[in-house]
A and B are shown apart, each in its own frame.
Chain A
Amino acid sequence: MAKLEEIIANEENRVLCLGNEAIARGAIEAGVQVFAAYPGTPSSEISMAMIAAAPKLGFYAEWSTNEKVAMETAFAASISGVRAMTACKHVGLNVAADAFYSFLYMGCKGGFVTVVGDDPHCFSSQNEQDSRWLGVSAQFPVIEPSSPQEAKEYVKRAFDVSEKFEMPMLLRSTTRVSHARTDVQFNKFESNFREGEYEKTNRFACLPALARANHPKLLERMEKIKEWLPTSGFSTIEGPDSHTEFGIITSGISYAYVKDALKTLKKELPILKLGMVAPLDEQTILEFAKDKENIIFIEEVDPYLEDRICALFIQNGVIPKIHGKSSEITKRYHELNARLVAEALVKVVGGSIVPVIEIEKSVEETKDFVPFRPPLFCAGCQHRAAFWELSKVVRKNKGVFASDIGCYSLDPWVTDTILCMGGGIGMANGFSKVIKDKPIFAYIGDSTFFHTGMPALANAVYNKANINILVLDNRMTAMTGFQPNPTEEIDIAEVAKSLGVEYVVVFDPYDFENGKKVFEDALKHEGPTVIIMRKICANEDWRRKRRKGEKIEVFHIDPEICIACGTCIVQYQCPAIRWSLDTNSKGKKYSIIDPTMCTGCSVCSQICPVGAISKVDE
C-alpha cells in the first residue's frame, strides 16, 4: 500500500496506490473536514488512509461503531457547513439506510459524499448487492468511476457537485476499482478548513409536515442535476461517430472491460460512458441512441442501466434493438472481465476471439489434483480454541448455533446460521421461542457486538430469551485488517451486566479446563448468559512480536511418541501442523509443526492424547 507520507504530501506527484487510497486522496484534495466510517471489505483502506491522515492534516476522522452512526456523524458535519465523508461496504449502506432515506429529503450544506464499495463475485461478502438501485429508490445521486485515477477525480468533483445542488452524493466503487493498484496523479491542495456553524432552521427536522414539503424539493433538486448533466462532463462519447449500426452503453469498471474487449476484437464502436448513473443523463442517452439500430449494455451483476434506459427509450419513442442481460449476452451474477465482454460483443457484432479449448482440456485433466484451499482460522487463532471447547461440550446435533459476521464465520464445527451484522443474537432469540429441547447459542465478535449486537442483547434480556451468547473478544476488528474498536475502552462484561444479564463470565479461550466448566454452568442457567472469551487476536499479536524481534516460544512434536491419530491435524485443523514426508523409527508418518507458522498457543499440546507435543525449549 502507498505510504502515509505519500498520501498526505501536498505535491504534484504520480503515486502507486490502491484505488481506495486514491479515493482517500481525492477527499483530502477536496478539503474534507470530517470523516467517519465502519470498516468493511472492499472499502476499508479508504478509512484506514483517512484515519491515519487526519491528525497529520488537521481534520477529524473516526472509526464509528457502525455505518449508520458514521453517516449521521458526517451528515451533522455537512449541515454545519463543512465537507464530510463516510465510506462503507455495500451491506453497510443498508445499515445506514434509515438515515439517508430521510436526509436526502433535506439535502445538505457542506459537500457530503458517501463512498460505497460493492463486491461483485462476493470476494469477501454475503451478497452481490448492486448499490446503484439506491440511487433510484432513495433519490441518491450516484457516480461510478472506472479506474483509481477517475475515482480520485470523481470524489473531488462530488464535493463540488454536492455543494452546488445541496445534495449528498453517493460514489459507487467495486472491488476491482477499490483494490486495483496503479500509478495515480496526485494534485496539490489547499486546506481551507471552515468553521462549523449550525444556522437555526427547521429544514433539518424530518417531521411529517416538513417531509411532505421536502419531497417535491428533493425531486426538484434531482431534476436540476439532470438538466445540468449533459454539460457536466460526466457523460462521454467515444468511437466512430458516424457509426449507426451499434452503440455500447456502459459505466464504472465495465467501461475498462469494454475498452480491452474492443482492443482484442480489433473493432471500434461508439461507446457512451456514464459517469453519473443516477439521475440518468437522459438528453445525452437519447441523443446517442436515436440513430443507432442496436444498443448494447455492458454492466456487472444487475441490468440497472438496461432496465432504466429501456424505460426511457419507450417513454421517448426511441426503439433500438436491445442487447444485454435481457438477451443473456452477459450474466446477472458474478464479475465480468475483458474476455467475457469480448464474448458478449461477438454475439452481437460478430468477429472472433482466440478459443481457449486446449487450456480448458488441460484444466479438466488436472482438476482433481488441485486441492480446495478454503480460508480458515489462522494458526494459534483463539476462535478455533473457543469453538473446539464449545464443540466438546455441546455437539452440533445437540444445539442450535447462530453465528455472525467476522473471523468466527470460519468455524468448521458447530455453526448453523450466518445472516448479517449482529444477526446472531436476534436469530438466537427467535430460535429460543420455538425450540425448547435444545440449548441455543449465538456468537459474536467485539466489534460486531458494538455495531449491532447491543440492541439485540437488550432485546434478549427484556424478552427473557433463554440463550447463551459467546462474545469472541479479540480486542480488534480482525477480519477487515485489525482496526481498533470500543472494546479497547468499554468492557463488554460491564455492558452485559448493566443491560441486566445475570450470568456474565470472562475467560481465556486457551484455558480449556475452565472453559468446559463455564459452558456446562451456562447451560444450567435460565435466561440469557454472556460468555466472553477474551484474548488479543493471535495472528496480529504474533505479527507484532515478530516485527519487534521478540522470541516466539514454538512447540514441536516428538516423532517417536506421536501415534498419527490426527487429533491436531484432522480434528483441530491447525494450519501450522501437517503430516511428515518421512517416517519415524516404526516406519510410520507423524505430525510436524512448522516453526515459522507456530504462534506458541499451546492448544495442540493440551489436546494431544499421548503427550507428544511440548515447547521446543523443554
Chain B
Amino acid sequence: MVETYQMVICGVGGQGILTISDIITIAAQKKGLNVLGSEVHGMAQKGGSVITNLKIGKNLNSPTIPIGTSKMLVGLEQNESLRYIKYLQPGGTVITSETVLFPITWKKDKEAADKARENIKGNLGKFDATIYFIDAEGLANQTGLALTQNIVLLGALSQVEGFPITDNELREALKIRVPPRFLEVNLKAFDLGIRAVKT
C-alpha cells in the first residue's frame, strides 16, 4: 500500500502558490499516483493569506489536511509559514522562504518588520520540525526574474527525504506548466533551490 504524502503550501495571494501546486500534481499524475488538493478561490487572491492542501498517494478521500497531519509545509512567506506550521505533524519538514511581506496590520508600526525578522526563527523553532530557511528572494533575483521564488522552493522541496517525486520528474512537469519563454529562468531557479538545500 502506498502511504499518503500530505503537504501544505502557503503564502500570500499572488506569490505563485497554485503554480507550484499544479507542477507537483502534474508530476505525481505522470508517475501514476493519485493527487487530491484543495484550493480557496475568490477573495483569497486579494493579497490575503493563502493555503493549499495537497495529498499524493492512492485511494484518496477528503481533500483537506487537519492540524498535525502534514509531512511537509512549503512557505513562500515567513509569517505565513508561522501561521500554518500547526498543520505539520511532529517531526515534519518545513521549507520556508525568508521573504517577509508586509501585512496591512503592520502599517502603523515602522519597526514591526524588524521585530518579526528577529523573532521568526525562534517562533518557528517552538514547533517540532526540521526547518530549511531559503533566501528565495535573493536566489530568484539571481535568475533575473523575481517571480521565480516559488520555483526556487520547489527545487529545494525535491531534495527532501521522503518526498515522493524526484527532481527530474518535477523538471518535466515544469516544462508542461510554465510558458516556453520563461522555462529557462524557471529551470535555473529550480536548480538554485536544489543547491540551497544541499549546501
A and B pair up:
yes
A contact set with B: CB distance below 8 Å: 14, 16, 18, 41-42, 44-45, 123-124, 147, 175-176, 179-183, 253, 256-257, 259-260, 263, 337-340, 354, 356, 358-360, 362-363, 365-366, 369-378, 407, 410, 479-481, 564, 566, 569-570, 573, 575, 578-579, 581, 589, 596
Bound CA–CA A396/B30 (angstroms): 56
A18, A376, A480, A566: the one within 8 Å of B104 (CB): A376
Q: Which residue of A lies closest to B147 (CB)?
A: A596
Q: How far is the CB of A120 from chain B (nearest CB, A)?
A: 12
The answer to whether B62 and A337 have CB atoms under 8 Å apart is yes
Contact of B82 among A366, A378, A480 (CB under 8 A): A366
B192 to chain A, nearest CB (A): 18
Closest to A14 in B: B29
Which of chain A's residues has its CB closest to B117's CB? A581
Per DSSP, are chain A's interface residues mostly helix, strand or loop, or mixed? mixed
List the A side residues contacting B146 at CB < 8 Å.
596
Residues of B within 8 A of A (CB): 12-13, 21-22, 25-26, 29, 34-49, 60-69, 79-80, 82-83, 86, 88, 90, 102-108, 110, 112-114, 116, 119-120, 123, 126-128, 146-147
Assess whether B110 is in contact with A256, with CB atoms less than 8 Å apart: no
Chain B residue numbers with a CB within 8 Å of A479 are: 42-43
Q: How many angstroms from the CA of A263 to the CA of B106 in the assembled complex?
A: 43
**Bound-state Cα–Cα, A257 to B61, Å:** 7
Contacts of A371 in B (CB 8 A): 79, 103, 105-106, 112, 116
Q: Which of B48, B63, B110, B126 contacts A375 (CB 8 A)?
A: B48
A362 touches B107 (CB 8 A): no
Q: Which residues of A contact B25 (CB under 8 A)?
A: 16, 181, 183
8 A-B residue contacts at CB 8 Å?
A14-B29, A16-B29, A259-B62, A359-B127, A369-B120, A370-B83, A373-B47, A378-B47
CB <8 Å contact, A359 and B41 = no
**Which residues from B are CB-within-8-Å of A180?**
36-39, 63
Q: How far is the CB of B23 from chain A (nearest CB, A)?
A: 11
Residue with the highest number of chain A CB atoms closer than 10 Å, among B39, B40, B63, B69: B63
Report which of A183, A259, A481 forms a contact with B34, defined as CB distance below 8 A. Answer: A183
Whether the pair A358, B128 counts as a contact (CB closer than 8 A) is yes
- What is the distance, in angstroms, from B90's C-beta to the closest C-beta of chain A? 7
How far in angstroms is the closest Cβ of chain B from A247? Answer: 19
Q: With A and B bound together, what is the CA distance between A354 and B79 in angstroms? A: 27
Bound-state Cα–Cα, A257 to B66, Å: 10
Q: Do residues B35 and A176 form an inter-chain contact, with CB atoms below 8 A?
A: no
List chain A residues, Cβ under 8 A from B41: 41-42, 44-45, 124, 179, 481
Residue of A nearest to B63 (CB): A180
Q: Tell me which residues across on chain B come within 8 A of A407, comparing CB atoms.
A: 46
Known: A256-B61, A369-B116, A375-B44. Contact between A338 and B66, CB under 8 A?
yes
Known: A337-B66, A570-B107. A181 touches B116 (CB 8 A): no
Q: What distance in Å separates the Cβ of B88 from its nearest Cβ neighbour in chain A?
A: 8
Q: Please, how many angstroms separate the alpha-carbon atoms of A176 and B53 in the complex? A: 11
B136 to nearest A CB, angstroms? 14
CB distance from B17 to the nearest CB of A (A): 12
Given A373-B103, A375-B46, A410-B46, 5 additional A-B pairs, CB 8 A: A14-B29, A147-B61, A259-B62, A570-B107, A579-B112
Contacts A180-B37, A181-B25, A573-B107; A374 near B79 (Cβ below 8 A): no
Cβ A369 vs Cβ B147 within 8 A: no
Given contacts A124-B41, A373-B49, A373-B103, whether A340 and B116 have CB atoms under 8 Å apart is no
Could you say which residues of chain A place their CB within 8 Å of the CB of B49? 373
Cα A204 to Cα B76 in complex, Å, equals 56
A375 touches B13 (CB 8 A): yes
Q: Are B29 and A256 in contact (CB under 8 A)?
A: no
A362 to B37, CA, bound (A): 27
Decide if A181 touches B62 in the complex (CB within 8 Å): no
Cα distance, A559 to B66, chains bound together (Å): 46
A590 (CB) vs chain B CBs: closest residue? B110
Chain A residues whose CB sits within 8 angstroms of the CB of B120 once the complex forms:
369
Q: Which of A175, A257, A578 has the largest number of chain B CB atoms within 10 A?
A: A578
Assess the A176–B38 pair: CB atoms within 8 A. yes
Whether the pair A260, B114 counts as a contact (CB closer than 8 A) is no
- Complex Cα distance, B48 from A124, in Å, reads 12
Q: Which residue of the partner chain, among B39, B108, B126, contacts A365 with CB atoms under 8 Å?
A: B126
| A259–B35 CA distance with the chains assembled, in angstroms | 17
Report how far A579 CA is from B39 CA in the complex, Å. 31
User: A41-B41, A339-B69, A356-B67 are known contacts. Are A182 and B61 too (CB-CB below 8 A)?
Assistant: no
Closest 10 CB pairs of A and B: A124-B42, A339-B66, A41-B42, A375-B46, A375-B48, A256-B62, A578-B102, A180-B63, A259-B61, A373-B103
Cβ–Cβ < 8 Å partners of B128 in chain A: 358
Contacts of A16 in B (CB 8 A): 22, 25-26, 29, 35
Given A369-B119, A376-B46, A182:B107 Cβ within 8 A = no
Q: A340 — which chain B residues lie within 8 A by C-beta?
A: 66
CB distance from A343 to the nearest CB of B (A): 10
Q: Is the CB of A569 within 8 A of B43?
A: no
Specify which chain B residues have a CB less than 8 angstroms from the CB of A183 in the assembled complex: 25, 29, 34-35
CB distance B38 to A179 under 8 Å?
yes
> Is B46 a contact of A377 with CB atoms below 8 Å?
yes
Q: A354 to B69: give the CA distance in the assembly, Å.
A: 10
A377 → B minimal CB distance (Å)? 7
Which residues does chain A contribute within 8 Å of B112, judged by CB atoms? 371, 579
Task: Chain A residues near B126: list those with CB within 8 A.
Answer: 362, 365-366
Is the beta-carbon distance between B13 and A181 smaller than 8 angstroms? no
Given the complex, which residues of B lie within 8 Å of A45, measured CB to CB?
41
- Distance, CA A256 to CA B126, complexed state (A): 33
Decide if A123 touches B42 in the complex (CB within 8 Å). Answer: yes
Give the docked Cα–Cα distance between A259 and B63 (Å): 12
Minimum CB–CB distance from A380 to chain B (whole Å) comes to 12
With beta carbons under 8 angstroms apart, the residue of A182, A263, A369, A589 that contacts B37 is A182
A41 and chain B: residue at smallest CB distance: B42
Name B82's closest neighbour in chain A (CB-CB). Answer: A370
Query: B39 near A181 (CB under 8 angstroms)?
Result: yes
- Most B-side CB within 10 Å, residue of A45, A123, A407: A123
A569 near B107: Cβ-Cβ < 8 Å: yes
Nearest Cβ on chain B to A122's Cβ, whole angstroms:
10
The one of B35, B47, B48, B66 in contact with A181, judged by C-beta atoms closer than 8 angstroms, is B35
Closest Cβ of chain A to B55, distance in Å, is 9
